[in-house]
Amino acid sequence: MLQPGDIIVVEGGQTVRLEKPLKGGRGGEGVVFDVSVRSLVAKIYHNPPTPELVAKLTCMIANPPDDPERASGHAEIAWPLGLAMHSGKVVGFLMPKAPMGRQLVSLLNPKTRKEWMPQFTWQGMLLAARNIADAFQHVHAKGYVVGDVKPENIHVTEQSLITILDTDSFQVNDERKGVIYPCGVATPGYTAPELLQGSMRGQARRPEQDAFALGVIIFKLLAATNAHPYQGLWVGLGDAPDSDDELVLNGWYTFRAGSLMRPNPRIMPMSAFPPDVVALWERCFVLGHASPSSRPTAKEWFKALDRIVNSNDILARCADVPWHIHVRDVPCPWCALAKTQGVSYFPGPLPSPQPVPPAVVPAPKTVANRRAPIVPPPPPWPPPQPQFKMSPQPGGAAQPPQPVSAAIFTSAGDRSSGRRRIMARAGIMFMVLLLAGVAIYATRRTPPVAAIHIPSSLPPSSARKPGDVWVNSIGMDLAYIPMGDFLMGSPNGYGADDEHPQHRVYLTRPLLMGTTEVTQRQYLEVMKKNPSFLKGSMELPVEQVSWKEAMEFCSTLGAREHRSYRLPTEAEWEYACRAGTPEPDGGISHLVQNAWYGRNSENKTHDVGTRPANAWGLYDMQGNVWEWCEDVHGDYTESEEHDPMGPVASTQPTVSDDAGTPEKAARQPHVARGGSWYDDPARCTAAARLNLAPNTRFNYVGFRVVLENPGSR
């Protein structure tokens, strides 16, 4: 093994002297040394490299990827520049030296980040993520695959500049020789699910497998913690999986609807992230689980993050803590996490002990250089010091933290007769509910009353009783829903936390409700476009429609017919779904017959109305696609309610664009109901709730409409 002071020869005959090893530069394969050329370092192998490795390095040296940062003296990729020779044999290679900084793991851990550079902000995390995506897109453009993606192989500076290390482990395709030199290693938690199903040794990899690992890295950076996107609170039966790879293999992304892992309480809710980023994670971890080609490319990640970093409209500064940068129009998630979790993610420099006036937010500036580090100018109180640049930005809707606690049942023993009586009563109640569920299941399998269709030439008031179906101007069937009352939510022992407490709701006016979800044909006729991802038949439900766009559909259709269409309220939706049958399990027992869901959908939507209708003639109330409701998402109360509209009524039927929505309600998380083609049974019940930012679009979210005052004209 060579030592400091030894001379190596690089291609062309130039000699270079080895100096001291870099701190942390000793690895299983070799040692990285400083050399007499200050901008370079040398990796010297412990053992002579094999002929295959020499051929691989030779191919890499001859075909480097683009690296626009090299002109400024910084290399995003520590690419081999020349073979290192000693005594006539190849012993290693030279590569660019990374600037002063640390491994990416130091940036991901709130404690080490605070110790290293307390002035760092969330926009710096965005910038680092953008720069990593930039490096990956240049690697992929040349036909290379990183393979072993992990934070330890990424170097980052205080200015969010990054360098990808360990490039000799990349997968290299030598097109001239027709040879692939595979990457033979992988890191748990960053390995795509399709690679976990067999041996990876010698297996050729694809850029979409790098894309999975890149999604994990970006998730950790933007969550500002080292928590994996598949780690959280296990709510399934039995013991929780004991490894990240097992979670990945089963597709239990914590923010996936129906996942058996609930989100980590130390990660801010999805509504606090930029919507474009949320959609890319959905493609990476949800769609990409079954279809790896659906994962966003490094180029797509770069474009999305570059737009956020260089925009003046996406981010904002917290009014209480100037070093808290977050999505505009969203309550500061860092303050919320500090309050609920006791963790200060971005503390900023220590304040002066003297009282100071509130910080004034300066006017934002557009960043001309896309890689210029963007950090906010210092607030009044920190002492003068080198600053890390940043720039304020925009927003989606604020979403309350997802409930993450699970009920824990313990045996109290037979210490008192009072306890025994309580347990006996609970057992009797359980049997009563179970028998009621069986009876209801039997009745729900019977067909509803025969539908009577009323043509659009007659007024909606012609529909007067259950079974009456009025047909509107675009051929949409709307069924009569009578007024009445029901128990909303799930009883104790059933459902998720946000489905409790169960409470009585009274609905005091009848409605006409679409018998099916709005189809792609109907949406195209009204809105002159079809945004759906899953296409084929025009009778498939429309999806990838935001809450705002669903509201706009209602407004446009209403203007066309001079009627008052809208989305159903959450209470109206559940009441119509139950159709007078308060089954305690929310309908899980008849999903196989009545719904398209995760176990029978073949990973796609299906034509509406192809499963049996419920007792009031409504199809696909459970499964196929989640359905937007009008309400803002909020907690239930134990009190009786009359025609509830959620915690904040959404009274504006028209929708303006994202930049200027006038209603506060239009920025808050809204409710979707019913489950989808992708979900497990527990997410497809009559009581299951999903809260989403109103401008999000997913291929498992659609809607149906209701018509108010059907008796008026």
Q: For each of the domains in the chain, give its residue range(s) and CATH number, in order of start.
A: 7-96 (3.30.200), 102-341 (1.10.510.10), 445-707 (3.90.1580.10)
| pLDDT above 80 (res 220) | yes
Assign 539 a pLDDT band (cuts: 50, 70, 90). Answer: very high
Does position 488 have pLDDT exceeding 60, yes or no?
A: yes
8 A C-beta contact, residue 271 and residue 328: no
What does the pLDDT average to over 260-268?
89
Q: Are residues 323 and 379 in contact, defined by beta-carbon separation less than 8 angstroms? A: yes
Mean predicted confidence (pLDDT) in 407-431: 44
Question: Which member of 148, 166, 468, 498 is catalytic?
Answer: 148
Closest CA to 166 of 141, 192, 148: 148
DSSP 512-556: EEESSPPBHHHHHHHHS----SS-SSTTSBP-S--HHHHHHHHHH
Does the pLDDT at position 388 exceed 90?
no
Asked if residues 174 and 335 have their Cβ atoms less than 8 Å apart, the reply is no
Residue 589 has pLDDT above 70, yes or no: yes
pLDDT for position 445: 36
Look at residue 416 in the predicted model and tell me its pLDDT. Answer: 41
Cβ atoms of 106 and 116 within 8 Å: the answer is yes
Identify the pLDDT of residue 651: 37
pLDDT reading at 249 higher than 70: yes
Residue-level length of the chain: 713
| 384 pLDDT higher than 50 | no
Predicted confidence (pLDDT) per residue in 339-373, tens digit: 988 888 998 875 544 443 444 433 333 333 333 33
Cα separation, 85 vs 100, in Å, equals: 27
**Mean pLDDT, rounded, for 536-542:** 95
559 SS3 class:
helix
**Taking Cα atoms as reference points, which of 213, 237, 236, 223 lies closest to residue 265?**
223
Determine the distance from the C-alpha atom of residue 623 to the mean position of all C-alpha atoms in its chain, rounded to a whole number.
Answer: 21
3-state helix, strand, coil in the chain (%, to 5): 30, 15, 55
Residue 129 — φ and ψ, nearest 5°? Answer: -60, -45
Return the ∠ at Cα 476 (arms to 470 and 479), rounded to 5°. Answer: 40
Q: Place 500 in a pLDDT band, splitting at 50, 70 and 90.
A: very high
Q: Do 253 and 245 touch, CB atoms closer than 8 A?
A: no
Inter-axis angle of helices 207-223 and 298-309, nearest 10: 30
Tens digit of pLDDT for each residue in 428-444?
A: 555 545 444 444 333 33
pLDDT of residue 449: 57
7-16, 114-123, 330-339, range with greatest mean pLDDT = 330-339
Question: Per-residue pLDDT tens for 621-675?
Answer: 999 999 999 999 888 988 899 989 865 433 333 333 333 334 444 568 899 999 9
CB 43 within 8 A of CB 131: no
In the chain, % of residues over pLDDT 70 = 81
pLDDT greater than 90 at residue 392 = no
CB-based contacts of 584: which residues, under 8 Å, 6+ apart? 433, 434, 436, 437, 490, 491, 493, 494
Kindly state the average pLDDT of the residues 379-404.
Answer: 30
Quick one: pLDDT at residue 430? Answer: 52
Q: What is the mean pLDDT of residues 540-566?
A: 95
Per residue in 690-706, pLDDT tens?
988 888 888 899 999 99
Q: Note the pLDDT of residue 361.
A: 37
498 falls in which pLDDT band (50, 70, 90)?
Answer: confident
- Cβ within 8 Å of residue 481, ≥6 positions away: 466, 510, 511, 512, 513, 572, 575, 576, 616, 706
Cβ-based neighbour number of residue 23 at 10 Å? 7
pLDDT of residue 432: 47
Three-class secondary structure of residue 670 per DSSP: strand
Given pLDDT bands bounded at 50, 70 and 90, which one contains residue 24?
Answer: confident
Rounded to 5 degrees, φ, ψ at 21 are: -65, 150
Residue range 165-215, pLDDT digits in tens: 999 999 999 988 889 999 878 899 999 999 887 666 667 899 999 999 999
Asked whether residue 217 carries a pLDDT value surpassing 90, the answer given is yes
Rounded mean pLDDT of the chain?
Answer: 81
Give me the DSSP letters along 35-95: ESSTTEEEEEESSPPPHHHHHHHHHHHHSPPP-GGGGGT--SB----EEEEETTEEEEEEE
**Range with the lowest mean pLDDT among 104-108, 362-366, 555-559?**
362-366
What Rg value do the Cα atoms of the chain yield, rounded? 29
Write down the pLDDT at residue 603: 83
The yes-or-no verdict on residue 58 having pLDDT over 90 is yes
CA neighbor of 316 nearest in space, from 376, 387, 388, 381 = 376
Q: Mean per-residue pLDDT for 217-227?
A: 95
Q: Using N-to-C axis directions, what is the helix angle for 547-561 and 520-527, rounded to 10°? A: 70
34 an active-site residue?
Answer: no
Query: What pLDDT does 519 receive?
Result: 98
pLDDT, average across residues 66-94: 88
**For 70-79, 380-389, 555-564, which range has the lowest pLDDT when averaged over its residues?**
380-389
Select the more confidently predicted residue: 119 or 151. 151
For the segment 524-548, the average pLDDT, to the nearest whole number, is 95
Neighbours of 246 (CB within 10 A): 14
Closest CA to 619 of 500, 391, 464, 447: 447
Helices (DSSP H) in 358-508: which residue ranges?
417-444
